[in-house]
Chains A and B, each alone.
Chain A
Amino acid sequence: MAAAGGGWAAVCHKFRTARTLSAVESRKDPETEPYRSKYSARALLQEVKQLLSAAEEGGEARLLAVRRAVLEYELGVNHTDTEELSAGEEHLQRCTQLLEPHRLSPDCVSLYIQAQNNLGILWSERDEIKTAQTYLESAEALYNQYMKEDGNPPLDPSEHFMSEEEKLTDQERSKRFEKAYTHTLYYLAQVYQHLEMIEKAAQYCHTTLKRQLEYCGYYPVEWALNAATLSQYYLSKQCFMESRHCLAAASVIFSQAGQVPSAEDNETEQDQQDLRQRKAEIARCWIKYCLNLLQSAQKLLEDNIGELDPDRQLELKAQRKKEEDEKEKGRKKAVLFGTSDICDSVLAMEEKVSSVYPLDFQEAREIFLVGQNYVQEAKEFFQVDGYVTDHIEIVQDHSALFKVLAFFEEDYERRCKMHKRRIDMLEPIYADLNPQYYLLISRQLQFELADTYYEMMDLKVAIGNRLEELDSHTIKKINSLAQLAIKYYELFLDSLRNPDKVFPEELEEDVLRPAMVAKFHIARLYGKLITSDSKKQLENMQTSLEYYTFLVDYCEKYPNAVRAVETELELSKEMVGLLPTRMERLRAKLSPFI
């Protein structure tokens, strides 16, 4: 047998060179010839293949088949890497055919799984996701079956071209095998995502992260960022326990990044800045966590006019006592990250903030404070100079935190002060912002400022209603808040005008509701303005009527709009019916002698 002795050593050497060329050298290829090393590797692999065929006679059939399968696999990967899919597919198919009878044996299982992985990739590149799915799912099944029936660390494909003394340790074998399987799961996550099986995709992403931790195959910063991002998926599903777990793990793993000295140990300023940015990004994920938890609690607790419903509050408190524990413990086992000491740190991190709905001001305030701390942390990096959009988004979150905290506050005066804090943070930013480049944010700020003034005015009216008689100070305050609200709503509506200053005939779908709500609120605000001058009052009523009429007319002309503003439309219709009569009466009072 030619491949024995010195001949075999030469074959092994060629094979190893090919692998090094492909995996290591190819990274250094010039940009003008990106595949140079891959092409040389391919040539070497072909040579090895020829040598093997020459040695065929007399060799043991099974051994030869497996070796040939390894070569077919390498050639398949090589061709797909260099954008030659059809050739790649042929080689990979040949590899799996050769291995088919032995796929459950320890010397073949890993190679078989990796070949299936690569076939999965190949078919996804042809936009045939379903075909990709079958290959990957069969790889997953094979892993599970092997682990159940055998479970010993299987041979790594590269070992087929190694001499006895070079062979890997069991520990190394196991590491490589598990890594191949982690890749299967990661590819499946993508396949499920493309097939819009989102929940399943998320579960596979979670498992991939988990396995990366278990087998130490991760970069702390990257891992932390991925976990933080996954937490945002759970947020959108209202799974606060899972979300918090991901965030706590992200924070814990991120803190490792600072401790491990980087490869060259001469961290540039750029690296430092990157690290600070990542930290701020994770902080922003925490902010969203606090915000969502508070807002979801508000949704549960509010009555039909958006105030805290005390009956509901009592009911939820009783319910929480009953069920909170058992339910979550079962779920928790399934998603826990990390081995013991990481796990302990993660749990300690979790304890700093609740993952159940806050039901009163005290509980809400604790979550608010955590969120506010992260706001400060995030702002340290995302300063307005250089990071306009990010900075403003953080300020908007801060404002939203205050808004939802105000919901839990019973004292109207103090609630009003919270809204004033929002104004104080938003108004100066808005004043500086150039809408030519930041039109969207600019509109958001206009609307939010308008809404905040509107809310403050409502609170002042409520406070005033408790008094025997409205004093002139309160009246002044109410009127000025109303005027400011009107000002910002009008600014928002003006931003919708075209360059010739004309308000659009038909509103774009994405601004339809806000525009209509702005019109509706302006109508109400004119109705609320307090004046002792009857003529002025009549004018205000007239303006109010015009805005209500706009809503009614618009919806008549564009019936599609009705859906977006049902309640507002109903009330507007009512007012359009009522106001003229009221105005008539007022006119009669003004000129009683006509």
Chain B
Amino acid sequence: MQLLHFAILAPFLFAFIVPFLYKRVKRVHTGWFVLILPVVLFVYFISKLPITMAGETVRYAAEWIPSLGINYTVYIDGLGLLFALLITGIGSLVTLYSIFYLSKDKEKLGPFYVYLLMFMGAMLGVVLVDNVIVLYMFWELTSLSSFLLIGYWYKREKSRYGAEKSLLITVGGGLCMLGGFILLYLMTDSFSIREMVNQVHIIAGHPFFIPAMILLLLGAFTKSAQFPFYIWLPDAMEAPTPVSAYLHSATMVKAGIYLIARFSPIFAFSPVWFWTVASVGLITMVWASFNAVRQTDLKAILAFSTVSQLGMIVSMLGAGAAALHYQHSEYFTAAVTAAVFHLINHATFKGSLFMAVGIIDHETGTRDIRRLGGLMALMPITFTVSLIGTFSMAGLPPFNGFLSKEMFFTSMLRIAHADIFNLDTWGVLFPVLAWIGSVFTFIYSMKLFFRTFRGPRKPDQLEKTPHEAPLGMLISPVILAACAVSLFFAPNVLSYSLIEPAMNSIYPALLTGGDTFHVHISQWHGVTAELLMTLGIIIVGTIGYVTLSKWERLYGLFPKKLSLNRLYDAVTGNMEKRSYQLTSSYMTGFLRDYLLYTFAAFIILIGTAFVMKDGFSVTTKGMAEIGLYEIVLSLVMVSATAATVFAKSRLTAIISLGVVGYTLALFFVIFRAPDLALTQLVIETISVALFLLCFYHLPKMRRKKKTRTFRMTNFIISLGVGVIVTMLGIASSSEKTKDSIASFFTAYSHKLGGGNNIVNVILVDFRGFDTMFEITVLSIAALGIYSMIRTKVKEEGEER
């Protein structure tokens, strides 16, 4: 176990101490203790930067279940480190923010920080672990801790609903992902991602290739809230704002993006991958940005905006896959550069925006955009932070969002010119969709900003008198906003420290020799198509925003029944209802129905086996002669059986049953089994007596001596069972392939067992074990009867 192993486990270990700190140290806000950990981890991970910048990787293995190939292997490369820095960096800021956001006295801080630390550790595990099974374990831990955090205010109905929804969707996707991992394991015989990348040539031609890819993408798309699985994210906004800022903008939702990037080396050369990833990303982007405009809750706007931005990153990751099909790949890897860059940018501005919205909520008491307005002069710092955040989100200079949006357009325009995968016909859709999505992004960004901070003040609609937030609460968003601005002016700080190493791990085989990806981000590249597109966005978007009230009615035209949430509710609700209906349709509670199923299954299964395997056969070889008295005795037995079945009174049935039993004893005599005959006689007598006992004690009311009503189904079933059993008997006696072992017993019962009665020697000597347990059965039966008669549990209400 190296230090790195402990770095991932540290949040879990620390989570154990948190409850004690919470209980013991009442005076200090628990968050201050927690804050130490992510800061230390952040510094630690920064110290790893030189390794990845040099193009090297670090891999430490620790055994967990070595016999199954499941090892706790940690691996640091550009991509993993980038995510680790995001997780710990934003984690520190979020913790700091939460100290001021959550009240020490009103909230249960212990659980909150335990969940948060659990999430942080799980997220670090996801991005730094090389073994897919361990990755899956951490992946599910993120789902679980996210579930706990969303349902933090568990007394609210909506929190519980959101938590349940997100758990169902992300865990469903996680299970798909596990299936994908197992398929990958079957292909490569290894759980290590590194090993899988090395065996790409085997995976590529394997029939499991496409299923594994689809399953894996399902996992990634559900976690990253892609279309049509994005529906859980807006409902997850019921979580406390620090959680929304951390999980649902900067880290957890990017786990899916991490997965896509991580498995790009394995799957990306496939056209299916390109089309799925790129088109799902774009559709998500357009759809979510379109829907974000209609929202009135600040956090809902941000949630849809997150979905849209994630879609944008995913589409760029998909577009980057085109590079694998060209000699001069630099032209298309620009998309991956843009994806990684926007990943960082999005974390900065979306984190700051969430925190700003949290401040507004905290200081005004509402998040409803219709009740807010004119906060600019009241909350100047929050106003500045939001200005930077929203304008960066809209893709305006001088903020970092502008740079990544330009790069996004560049990559989409290049894809349109590619001549693979039918892109020459369909490729033109990519920049068009990207542009439309960006226009909507501009509109909702402006709506978010102007409706909150400009316009008339509405003090009568607010619960509190709005004022600037405490300084502590502002630190984190200000830092993030400062990042957002400085990244515009100095984006190349990241070029070779974070982006290039990350690209190297996304497409490791693309470059040969000591070549590196050429990453240079420039603010100005002349009057290009991208710039014109941005200008178009600003113009069209401004017109769109100004005339918003006129065309907003369009949203009303969209039928509510067709929404995906409706579908989700209908599916979950109906599933419960239908399965209840299904269960109650056959679980009737009547024993006769269950017997019917059992017997019907018996007939169908064995009958089908007879037909399919041609199993029925009759031979007369080895049959004994039949005497006259045997025929007559059989007639006796048959007529007694018939009498039992058709008896009008129960007493007749009991007596006829006795006749059957006695005749059976006589058959034992004829077929030379004296011991059996003896036992049969005694048992028959006793059981007839017992039947009489039962008959006598039947309740008075029902003693109407009804004859059995005839039911066709029962008749058919009983006939079927009889026929099948007869056929089985005939077939099995006709198909004897081996001699019986009876000759051994006749030869050795005296010699080895010391007895002449072979049956008894078998019972107590050769196979004494069976007898012992038969004795046990009888004792249990006797004890059971005794206790059933003796211990009378009184009915409810009576005293015992």
Q: Does chain A bind chain B?
A: no
